[in-house]
Amino acid sequence: MSPPRFLFAPIYSSCNLRCPHCEFWRRPHTLTKTSWADADHKTRRSAVVEEFARLSPAGVVVTHGGESLLAWDEYMDFSRHVRAQGLRLLTVTNGTMIYSLERASELAIDGPSEINISLDSARPEVHDKFRGTVGTFAKATSAVVALLRARYKWASSLKVNIMLLLCRDTYEDLDYAYKLALVELGVDKLKLNMIQPSFGNDSGADSFFAEQCDVDPEKLRTNLLAMDAKYKLSFNPKWIEQVVMYFRSVRLNPRAHLGWKGNMATQEHICNSYDRNIWLSDRSEMHLCCDSSWPGSTWEKPGDLAKFWEGAQALRESMSSCNRLCGISHSLRNTTSTIPR
């Protein structure tokens, strides 16, 4: 059995924005840290990372949860610990906590190997609407500028990317997005995240997804091919077909307004999270993907991570027929978006 490539670890369960496609901020105690914040769980999380490093020396740790950088000191301590194990760290952030060159410098020196700033749209008014908070576009782009300045100042190898939400209000505006990201701001990469049913929403009504999933699959294919040619992106043709298939699957399904409750599925299998990921919850639970309804195990002592990974073959076989819409996510799908030059 090949070792896992990615360990997803929680830092903070809260967020300071109000995105309609994410319901976690609506939950009670939204300003409370995860249980990892207490000393026992910090020690336990460190031990999990150390075991992951032994199990997968070339592995990558990815932070997840709410907005990790709200717990700034805890995040930086975690980053230093991951780096000390010889592992890479990847982080997605809304950028609002990177409000100075000093903070950007701290990230460039002791922070992640790669940081991805969420910019749901290249249009300020659309991004702010999607983030539920006015002024977040300006804060996100300012964070990008600060990170790039800090990288240059400290000769850091930090990769700085932008993550765009591909949906009804953005898919016909890709040229403007790529120009902003690659030409005007000068980031390393613009990553595309396909809209999925709103995470954390179990109510059975998902108006945001129902509205924004209305993407013409063939127009999207044309737009992606045009961007590939214009900006020399080296898109993977298989990935383009998977994206088109994803939106075709959603468009043909009348249950989009139900979100996750609609039990929608893609026409083809596009996920292989079970072959490369371990997702760690804030209660020390281990799973093979972000969907905790699949059976998992609890980490209690060194050796439990390897035992879970190596003993999950029957679970993998069951998951290999799962076509839930989350499979299109960049952290889950079996095909990369680009082909190395």
95-125: pLDDT as tens digits: 999 999 999 999 999 999 999 999 999 999 9
Strand partners of residue 285: 298
137-162 mean pLDDT: 98
Picking from 37, 59, 39, 38, the residue whose alpha carbon sits closest to that of residue 49 is 59
Does 133 score more than 80 pLDDT? yes
CA distance 122 to 167: 13
Instruction: Report whether 15 contacts 94 (CB < 8 A).
Output: yes
DSSP secondary-structure letter at 198? P
Does the domain at 6-328 match CATH 3.20.20.70? Answer given as yes
Token pair in block for residue 325: 């819409």
220-248 mean pLDDT: 98
**Backbone torsions φ then ψ of 122, nearest 5 degrees:** -80, -5
CA distance 271 to 294: 14
DSSP secondary-structure letter at 24? G
Does 340 score more than 90 pLDDT? no
Q: Cα angle at 199 between 297 and 167, to 5 degrees?
A: 135
Instruction: Report whether 288 contacts 277 (CB < 8 A).
Output: yes
**Beta strand 285-287 with 189-194: parallel, antiparallel or unpaired?**
unpaired
Does 15 score more than 60 pLDDT? yes
Domain ranges of the chain: 6-328
Percent of the chain residues topping a pLDDT of 70: 95
- Average pLDDT value over all residues in the chain: 93
pLDDT digits (tens, 9 = 90+) for 250-276: 999 999 999 999 999 999 999 999 999
Helix (H, G, I), strand (E, B) or coil at 47: helix
CA distance 290 to 278: 9
179-206 mean pLDDT: 91
CA distance 236 to 74: 37
216-223 mean pLDDT: 98
pLDDT digits (tens, 9 = 90+) for 319-338: 999 999 999 999 999 999 99
CA distance 151 to 260: 40
CA distance 42 to 85: 16
pTM of this structure? 0.94
15-33 mean pLDDT: 68
Give me the pLDDT at residue 264, please: 94
pLDDT digits (tens, 9 = 90+) for 26-71: 654 433 344 445 667 778 889 999 999 999 999 999 999 789 999 9
